Structure 1
Amino acid sequence: MNAYSQSLAPANTPLRETLSLDGSWEFRHETDREWRHAKVPAHWQACFEDLSVSFGSATYRRTFTLPVEWSAREIAIRFGAVSDLATVFINGTEIGRHEGGYLPFEFVIPSALLKAENTVEVLARLPDAHRNESGADFAEIPHGKQSWYGPQGGIWQSVLIEARDPAHISSLRLDPIWPEARLDLKAHFASMVAGSLKIEIIDPQGMPVFTGNIPAAGHTFKHSIQLDAVAPWSPDSPNLYTITTILSADGVEIDSRQESFGFRRFEAKDGFLHLNGKPLYLRAALDQDYYPDGFGAPPSLDLLEDQLRKAKAMGLNCLRCHIKVPDPRYYEVADRLGMLIWSEIPNIETFTPASAERLRTTMEGILARDGNHPSIVIWTLINEDWELGCARRPNSGNGFPTWSTGCVWKTRYGSLSTIPPASRTSTSRPTSTTTTSTERRWIGARSGTRSAANSQAMPTGPSRLTRKPCARGRNRWSSPSSASGVYPILPVCAKRTAATPGGWPMVPPGRMARPCPRASKPVSANSLLRKSLVISVVSSRRCSGINT
């Protein structure tokens, strides 16, 4: 089963004890003959040069000693994130499986399996283009920019063993209301309770502003707390409050949980964004959240703090973390130092019932883990307009959009076109009926080999926005040759080793494509404002992401 929590950090309170399993683990990729050692947390692609673009399965293994004083408590193993499919074993016995490479999960370890010395093994699988025994392939799992910058597999966030009471606080959802100075909270318990919940709230100056003891019974607790005037949270004044909840049963304290939160109101009205009742001019940058040393994982808290301070020094007040779920410390730093965050769900490549369900589960997990952060003001449901251009056709067989007469497609650059009947896998080029091109880039449904065979047909027409050839034998976006309707699966910066009839460079089999580091296409201000087509909870014509 999956057990989502806010993060690993809030659970570490005086009534819970933890044992970190971060550090060196034995590691063996499916292509290895011998065991070697890998750092945890980290993607295996960041640890080993020979596995830098590898998919497949890898086994992690290490031992841990269980403290004697934990023998009467519930013991759980908790993972910040494992990409993408994880199977966990304790002393040779499987205790659970989890799917999804960005979110936390945990398994309670049966007491009968535990010894003084224990061995934990984690089988981590990152699906490639071939459907595996779990029914997944890369195209149908949320993966974001892994199709651009390379795969990311393995245990890439912290792992710990936790000792706690079986009737613990499993989640705490906070809803601060500004300017009313009211806090609505909802707690979930892991099992039935009959006792009370002590609540203490500390203001940004460290002074207590509320203390109360409220009866609690059942699996769920709801309560509203009215405070006096509160200090609102904003990038200029990141005022954070701290709430501590202590669960008691039969007069004995059995569990506690602590969270930070902020009072703020973010809304769109009259064509403008407003923060705490005042118009806000959003100065945002798109953050790919990739690092020289950690690849898709930040190497340290200091680095996260340093990059955010530099972003503020540049005059930015918002970062759009692009189609990935970041390390939870990313949001903690934004809360504490003051930065608005545009959060996004990682995209898939092929929209099917299975991938739709994975997207829904991922979005629910994002909200469960990150819903208490005042820094997050926009939640992206899907990037640009991928797979959402057409209404569903009743006779499309699988119920998903296909090209059809009169179907209007939004393009990557904001232009519109009408596509005549054609198969999505056709090698002939449909004819655009508008005066602008529809250089809609179809991300291929398979990773790995990049060739003309898995590219998609594109409409013709004069190119409105193009990329010109790069130096050093590289290539950017540009208009295709009139002799060929085949576009490559990705714009690449790999050196040309093969080409389509239109002269587009292709990536050799087994190599990952990378986007060019610099843009050379001329763009106008209006085209930039139209460039990113994002469906989000908060939208306004004054708020537009620039997606490069």
Structure 2
Amino acid sequence: MDDQSGQPSSTAQPPSSRLHPRPQLTRERWDDLCGVWRFAHDDGDRGLQERWFERPDVFDQDITVPYPPESRASGLRATGYHPVVWYCRSVSLGPQEEGGRVLLHFGAVDYRARVWINGQLVAEHEGGHTPFTADITGALQGSGPQVIVVRAEDDPHDLAQPRGKQDWERQPHSIWYHRTTGIWQPVWLEYVPQTFIAGLRWTPDVEHGRLGLHIRLNRTPDQPLRVRVRLSLRGARLADDTYTLDGRELTRELVLHRMQFKDERSDILWSPGRPNLIDVQLTLLDEDRVVDEVGSYVGMRTVGVRDGRFQLNGSAYYLRLVLAQNYWPESHLAAPDEAALRREVELVKALGFNGIRIHQKVEDPRFLYWCDVLGLMVWGEMANAYIFTPEAQYRLTREWQDVLLRDYNHPCIVTWVPVNESWGVPNLEGDRAQRAFVRGLYHLTAALDPTRPVIGNDGWEVVEGDILGVHDYALDGDTLRERYGSAEALEHTLQAVQPARRNFYLAGHHRKGEPVMLTEFGGLSHAPGDAEHWWGYGTLPDTQALLQSYEDLLNAVLDSPVIAGFCYTQLTDTEQETNGLLRADRTPKLDPAQIRAVTTRVSKAVQHDVIAEIHALADERQRARLRAQQALEDE
């Protein structure tokens, strides 16, 4: 990919004008169910008793799915307290093969959902940020329209729900935003055979030039099947292997011969400067008959920590992240459209950042797809609860496991953050149970995904983690230089200064050479003269002062020999938070080229990473020219 043009190195998608809502496992046959549905509030919670799932007459409003009813994009803008909502839609199904199944998929429904087809309950799910699927085949009636009804329950005062930055008050205040109730990610139908590929897991082994594959079917087949796996990179074949599948699951390692030669690895490895993606086609076979066929993709790369530095593909790499709420004024946590997801990635890269920390939100898989394709690293973070109870622990742990399962395959994700700033564990220092919970989340995450670094609690009060994330909203570069200008200053700051007025280390934690990163800083607000209210960590009078302060802070961080990366707060203005580099409508406050020049300055901690990216980009452009020349000669 050309890093400046934003052209992907691989589509990893079947030819279509629509981006598949689940880009890591695609089929050509699917029906988009986003659009206008019937809708009803159920403030008295009477719907179950009155059997609204059998009563189309109660749906007295229209809503545009997948936008939350609190948003303008939904057509409702119902921002009051509505803890229970109902949706209804009739759909006509496409042709189905004999013995095939029909699946109904929900990207995310906040918070607790029940789904009926033609009055028959087909699914129940709890967790507002993770997908679920219903096999609706047995509930279908005849060949006419089928009626889908969804009930969503989202109590705004239940602080034990993992809710992230959704406000419990009627209107947004401080750093919290409008609630997101009900359906807020795509809904779609998928047509599958009786036995089909239900799950894929890719694990790169760069050191040995291999790719781990785990396939899971929806059921144990009646007789042994075969699966053919074809890998290609920019049209060139990397592997074409066939395996016998005796049971429901299959685990294999594919040898990538081009990975055996280190000089050629850069043509295959994934990085922000060169986001190479391997296209995958998997075909499930019964003898020579095609049973099922899916598309996928994989990025070969390694991430880790060593010697106080973050490592990408075995080399020290400096992280230049920006904090992103991924919240839009008209549609809230849901993206306004597919194009907005790609545009968000392009904006981040245009400002010179190589990564993004998605804050207190589990993002749409289509956004992660564009991070994979265009080359943007992601810190995956869980939306936290606000109180510490057994129910809150159970809910967060269960949903976090679903997040890890859903997003394991995305090469863009390079770090996991289950807890931010002690949210949901408010007495972490004084409560042994809360410390055990954070430590348990760290170890659970590392056990389910040993391929990525994990931060148990980001910001302060370190219990366990592979990276030490510090939140420090000092308003001038001199203060940051005083705190992080040397190894001695850093240790003094972490031990004694307490930048956020919270202890950084908790009793019993010992440094093990973890990288230290400034994972929140900045927060500079430019308040326009006609603004009624705004919020930021520091307010500046005009855009010129904003640029000067941004440069002052970034230079101080980049001059530190001991800070291994940063995350600037933040990408966009969001509701009353006006501390973005971009306005809420995504227009820039400052010249993006000026921001990029500051952001991409070489750091003293890892001085070679920018140069290496430039060389990689130049090499890729040269190879692209040679490929184009060869193609012309072949013609």
TM-score (norm 2): 0.62
Q: Contact 1:55–1:151 (CA<8 Å) still a contact in 2?
A: no
1:176 matched to which residue of 2?
Answer: 204
Q: Cα deviation per residue 1:139-160 (whole Å; 9 max; x = unaligned)?
A: 1111111131110012111112
2:126 matched to which residue of 1?
Answer: 99
Q: Cα deviation per residue 1:385-413 (whole Å; 9 max; x = unaligned)?
A: 3316226448x9xx989xxxxxxx84996
Question: In structure 1, which of residues 519, 529, 536 is the aligned counterpart of residue 538 of structure 2?
Answer: 519
State the distance in 1 between where 2:314 and 2:124 align. 46
Letter in structure 1 aligned against 2:182: G
1:10 to 1:310, Cα distance in 2 relative to 1, 3 A: closer
Please give the residue correspondences for 1:126-525 in structure 2 after superposition, counting only pairs within 5 Å: 126-129=154-157, 137=158, 139-147=159-167, 148-193=176-221, 194-230=223-259, 231-386=268-423, 387=425, 389-390=428-429, 392-393=431-432, 410=461, 516-517=535-536, 519-520=538-539
1:53 to 1:228, Cα distance in 2 relative to 1, 3 A: farther
Q: Cα deviation per residue 1:208-254 (whole Å; 9 max; x = unaligned)?
A: 11111111011210000111124111111110001221112354221
Relative to its length, the structure with more strand (as a share) is 1
Q: Cα deviation per residue 1:403-442 (whole Å; 9 max; x = unaligned)?
A: xxxxxx8499679xxxxxxxxxxxxxxxxxx99797569x
Q: CA deviation at 1:31?
A: 5.0
Q: Cα deviation per residue 1:61-88 (whole Å; 9 max; x = unaligned)?
A: 1101234545631122111111111110
1:61 matched to which residue of 2?
Answer: 88
Where in structure 2 are there 5+ consecutive unaligned residues?
1-19, 45-57, 168-175, 260-267, 439-459, 463-469, 474-495, 504-520, 541-548, 571-635
State the secondary structure of the residue aligned to 1:192: coil
Letter in structure 2 aligned against 1:141: Q
Relative to its length, the structure with more helix (as a share) is 2
State the distance in 1 between where 2:523 and 2:26 align. 51
1:30 matched to which residue of 2?
Answer: 42
Q: CA deviation at 1:50?
A: 4.6
Letter in structure 2 aligned against 1:163: Y
State the secondary structure of the residue aligned to 1:361: helix
- More deviation, 320-329/23-32: 23-32
State the distance in 1 between where 2:257 and 2:553 align. 45
- More deviation, 378-387/66-75: 66-75
Letter in structure 2 aligned against 1:154: G
TM-score (norm 1): 0.71
1:354 to 1:390, Cα distance in 2 relative to 1, 3 A: same
Q: Contact 2:101–2:194 (CA<8 Å) still a contact in 1?
A: yes
Where in structure 1 are there 5+ consecutive unaligned residues?
1-5, 130-136, 402-408, 416-433, 442-464, 475-492, 496-514, 530-539
State the identity %: 27
State the distance in 2 between where 1:471 and 1:374 align. 38
Q: Cα deviation per residue 1:3-51 (whole Å; 9 max; x = unaligned)?
A: xxx963455425xx32221211011122598611111111111124551
Letter in structure 1 aligned against 2:538: A
State the secondary structure of the residue aligned to 2:564: coil
State the distance in 1 between where 2:563 and 2:376 align. 21
State the distance in 1 between where 2:565 and 2:139 align. 56
Q: Contact 1:85–1:101 (CA<8 Å) still a contact in 2?
A: yes
State the distance in 2 between where 1:184 and 1:347 align. 32
State the distance in 2 between where 1:470 and 1:332 align. 32
State the distance in 1 between where 2:250 and 2:437 align. 41
Whether 2:43 is the aligned partner of 1:20: answer: no
Letter in structure 2 aligned against 1:26: R
Q: Cα deviation per residue 1:287-315 (whole Å; 9 max; x = unaligned)?
A: 11111232111112322222322221221
1:435 to 1:375, Cα distance in 2 relative to 1, 3 A: closer
State the distance in 2 between where 1:469 and 1:299 align. 25
- More deviation, 68-77/280-289: 68-77
Q: Contact 1:7–1:369 (CA<8 Å) still a contact in 2?
A: no
State the secondary structure of the residue aligned to 1:330: helix
State the distance in 1 between where 2:120 and 2:342 align. 41
